[in-house]
Structure 1
Amino acid sequence: MTDRSTGLPYAEVIGDPIAHSKSPVIHNFWLEKLGIKAEYRMFHVKPDELEGYIASRRDDPDWRGCNVTIPHKLAVMDHVSDPGNVHASIGAMNTVAKAENGELFGTNTDAGGFFAPISDVPLKNQDVIVIGAGGAAQAVLFALSRIEVGSVTIINRNVLKASALLARFGLKGQALEHGSALPPARLLVNASALGMKGQDELIVDLSPLPDDAIVYDLVYAPLKTSLLKAARARGLETIDGLSMLIGQAAVAFEIFFDQAPPLEHDELLRKLLLK
């Protein structure tokens, strides 16, 4: 793990792997539009380096915080304070920042970022399928628990873990193993790493879904995942991973740099991300 200092205020995204991250493009685009002299970068942190990384940033006066991605969203909770009780509610952190007193605290902007593009979809009492049971899935389940959806089916390799999450978030439903037939549902969310560059493909039979179903893939590298291609071939409405990525980044940006991002440029930003 190496570092590079530029003397500017900075934030970053950490993970393993991390080269695929589009977060630097988003945050640096907003910094440039606002004329803020700061930077946002990516930093590769392996699981056994996480504690050392947090310690190294704690006393860095230029460090404003970091976004946290796979596989650190659960482990990072052991190293920072939790003023919003994220551990007990969502159960995963995707953002760490520095308070005025220098204390490092964690929060989660994934739940809001996930919900933003479906906020106008009537999902109350509608059935939902969630693939995955990690940090991103927990943010999704937290959001779903707040909008009174119907039955939730979690598909995961570890069925016991998936069942425990249903109980944790007070959701009725079932847990199924990967490869199980999908039940009918209004919304299907891939909150796993399957389909991500370097990971196994996510291959599911979408035929049980109704014609008005929405397929939402949180993976954004690649943007056109096999899941979304299959959904579009069926004529289903789709939402790609950039929607959540930009939504959660907007909340984190304001935490890091004390200014709201210039969202009026979102169309230009999305074109930039699609290059």
Structure 2
Amino acid sequence: MTDDMPIAPKHAPLAGVIGMPIAHSRSPRLHGHWLRRYGLAGHYIPMPVMPEHLAEVLRVLPRAGFVGINVTIPHKEAVLALADTVTDRAALIGAANTLIFRPDGKIHADNTDGYGFIANLRQQAPDWQPDAGPAVLIGAGGAARAVVASLLDSGVKELRITNRTRLRSEQIRAEFGARLVVYDWAQAGNMLDGASTVVNATSLGMEGKPPLRVPLDALSPEALVTDLVYTPLMTPLLTEARARGCRVVDGLGMLLHQAAPGFERWFGQRPEVDDETRRIVLG
């Protein structure tokens, strides 16, 4: 090392995202943008971690200067058992996407996916009324559980849910209560009758995946339709819903908003989600 080489701050906080695979993650681009925007010392690093190494990695990271991490597939459920404290919403959802490493090395687990989902709706559709009519949820995976919790908490009175495997929908209903109504996958189109909010929480419609083949004949032009998929931004579902006169909300904002609470805890600055942020993350 030469004398004129820049020296990184000794205590610059480190954060990152773990998953397998991880190369596709847009989180490093997002957090890097916010660090530069606010002139903050710190780094955000993508880290591929195999499931069998998860516990060891979580023990080491706090000692290596990390203040926290984001967690993605396949670790979002497993980290709950390894955390010292778990928020009520992470426990309810059964998964965590945000870990905070405390100065004493203890791990605090949270789930901000539901927060990100609702924040995205309210930003892109400020007049959205959760109690205007039944909500429809297509899919019953991990992301769907966060959507269920956030929609019920927002005041949705009836939530219709369907999944290719009905048992998963039934399990969610058993946990979240009588406001959920389960539909068979073959009857998914019937759920849309009278619905004011429609959410796709499956990967169908994503680039490289089959399209979501739910007939939209019963969809009201007054409904708001959103898709958790953001590659492409305008999925076939959103394109068809817009053609029918519906308001549509793409899924990118959920990714951006769910990241904000963790960034604030790790780096001490609440970041703004705006058009520039969207452009940077889209590249």
- Bin the TM-score by the shorter chain: 0.7 to 0.9
Give 1:78's aligned residue. Answer: 81
Aligned amino acid, residue 18 of structure 2: I
Shift in Å, 1:42: 2.0
Summarize deviations over 1:224-269 as a string: whole Å, max 9, x none. 32222222232321111111111111111112212211x1x72211
State yes or no: 1:253 paired with 2:263.
yes
Task: Assess, with a 3 A threshold, how the Cα gap between structure 1 residues 205 and 17 changes in structure 2: closer, same or farther.
Answer: farther
1:53 is matched with which residue: 51, 57, 61?
A: 57
Summarize deviations over 1:5-29 as a string: whole Å, max 9, x none. x985321122233332221121111
State yes or no: 1:25 paired with 2:29.
yes
Q: How does 1:98-247 map to 2 (within 5 A)?
A: 98-119=101-122, 120-124=127-131, 126-182=133-189, 183=191, 184=193, 185-247=195-257
State yes or no: 1:269 paired with 2:277.
yes
Aligned amino acid, residue 44 of structure 2: Y
Shift in Å, 1:179: 4.2
Identity of aligned residues (%): 40
Structure 2 CA distance, aligned partners of 1:19 and 1:40?
Answer: 14
Task: Assess, with a 3 A threshold, how the Cα gap between structure 1 residues 201 and 82 changes in structure 2: closer, same or farther.
Answer: farther
- Structure 1 unaligned blocks of 5 or more: 1-5
Equivalences, count: 267
Shift in Å, 1:108: 1.1
Structure 1 CA distance, aligned partners of 2:160 and 2:278?
Answer: 31
Superposition CA RMSD, Å: 2.3
Summarize deviations over 1:171-216 as a string: whole Å, max 9, x none. 4232234443321211111222333345443332222111111111
Q: Secondary structure at the match of 2:188?
A: coil
Give 1:92's aligned residue. Answer: 95
Tell me if structure 2 keeps the 8 A contact 1:186–1:212: yes
Aligned amino acid, residue 273 of structure 1: V
Structure 2 CA distance, aligned partners of 1:135 and 1:141?
Answer: 10
Structure 1 CA distance, aligned partners of 2:247 and 2:168?
Answer: 29
Aligned amino acid, residue 170 of structure 1: G
Q: Secondary structure at the match of 1:216?
A: strand
State yes or no: 1:44 paired with 2:48.
yes
Q: Secondary structure at the match of 2:68?
A: strand
Task: Assess, with a 3 A threshold, how the Cα gap between structure 1 residues 230 and 15 changes in structure 2: closer, same or farther.
Answer: farther
State yes or no: 1:66 paired with 2:75.
no
Comparing 103-112 with 153-162, which one deviates more in the overlay? Answer: 153-162
- Structure 2 unaligned blocks of 5 or more: 1-7
Shift in Å, 1:218: 1.2
Task: Assess, with a 3 A threshold, how the Cα gap between structure 1 residues 256 and 150 changes in structure 2: closer, same or farther.
Answer: same
Q: Secondary structure at the match of 2:242?
A: helix
Task: Assess, with a 3 A threshold, how the Cα gap between structure 1 residues 131 and 168 changes in structure 2: closer, same or farther.
Answer: same
Aligned amino acid, residue 209 of structure 1: L
Larger radius of gyration: 2
Structure 1 CA distance, aligned partners of 2:78 and 2:206?
Answer: 21
Structure 2 CA distance, aligned partners of 1:224 and 1:13?
Answer: 26
Q: Secondary structure at the match of 1:188?
A: strand
Give 1:10's aligned residue. Answer: 14
Aligned amino acid, residue 96 of structure 1: L
Comparing 169-178 with 204-213, which one deviates more in the overlay? Answer: 169-178
